[in-house]
Amino acid sequence: MCSSEILQAFLDGELELAETEAVRNHLACCPACRRELSRLRLLWLELEQEDEVEVPAGLPFIRQQAVTKARAARQDMQRTSSVSLWAAQKLAWQPLLAGVSQIPGTRQLGQLARTAGRGLPGVIKGVSSIASKIISKRRDQR
C-alpha cells in the first residue's frame, strides 16, 4: 500500500470512504508512509503561500546583454567554421592535457603538446585548401 499517489489522493480527499479508512489503518502501522504524508503536507503548505518575488530592476538589461553576447558568439562561429572545429578539438583535449600535467616529471610533455597544438590550425587550413583545389580541378575536368 506504500504509494505516493494514494497518499496524495488521501490528502486531496479523493478516496472513497473504505479506501480512506484503509489508508488510515495503514498509516497507523507504517512510519515510512507517515513521513511521506508529512512531507506532502509541507509541500502543499509551501505551494499555497502566495509570496511575490520582486524582479530586480536591471533584469531586462542583463537578459539583453546575455542575448547579445550569445548572438555575437554564434555569428563568430558561423564566420570561422574551421576555427570553431579547432576550438572544439582543443577543448576535447583539455582533460587529457590537464591529467598529463599532473603526472610528476611530465611537464615537458604538456609543453610539447601545447607547442604542437599551436601549429595544428595552420596544418588543418593548409590541408583543407589543398583538398578544395583538388576538388575544383576535378570539377573543371568534367
pLDDT digits (tens, 9 = 90+) for 18-51: 999 999 999 999 999 999 989 888 888 877 777 7
Which residue type is seen at 42? L
121 vs 111: CA distance, rounded Å: 17
Give the three-class secondary structure for 33. helix
**Same domain, yes or no, for 37 and 85?**
no
pLDDT of 94 reads: 75
In a domain, 64, yes or no: no
pLDDT of 140 reads: 67
In a domain, 134, yes or no: yes
Domain that holds residue 37: 4-48
In a domain, 31, yes or no: yes
Cell for 36? 511521506
Q: Which residues contact 93 (CB under 8 A, 6 or more apart)?
A: 113, 117
- With beta carbons less than 8 A apart as the criterion, state whether 44 and 28 touch: no
Q: In this predicted model, what pLDDT tens digit does every residue of 68-105 receive, in sequence order?
A: 888 888 777 666 655 567 777 777 777 766 665 555 55
In a domain, 74, yes or no: no
In a domain, 56, yes or no: no
Higher pLDDT, 138 or 48: 48
State the average pLDDT over residues 118-140: 66
Cell for 28? 497507523
Count, residues in the chain = 142
Query: Among 48-52, 54-58, 61-65, where is mean pLDDT lowest?
Result: 48-52
Eight-state DSSP code of residue 54 = P
- With beta carbons less than 8 A apart as the criterion, state whether 35 and 7 touch: no
In a domain, 62, yes or no: no
Tell me how crowded residue 130 is: count the other CB atoms within 10 A of its CB.
Answer: 10
Q: Which residues contact 2 (CB under 8 A, 6 or more apart)?
A: 30, 32, 33, 36
Number of domains in the chain: 2
Higher pLDDT, 112 or 99: 99
37 vs 43: CA distance, rounded Å: 10
In a domain, 69, yes or no: no
In a domain, 96, yes or no: yes
- Per the rule left: phi > 0, alpha: psi between -120 and 50, beta: everything else, 65 is alpha
- With beta carbons less than 8 A apart as the criterion, state whether 27 and 20 touch: no
**Same domain, yes or no, for 42 and 94?**
no
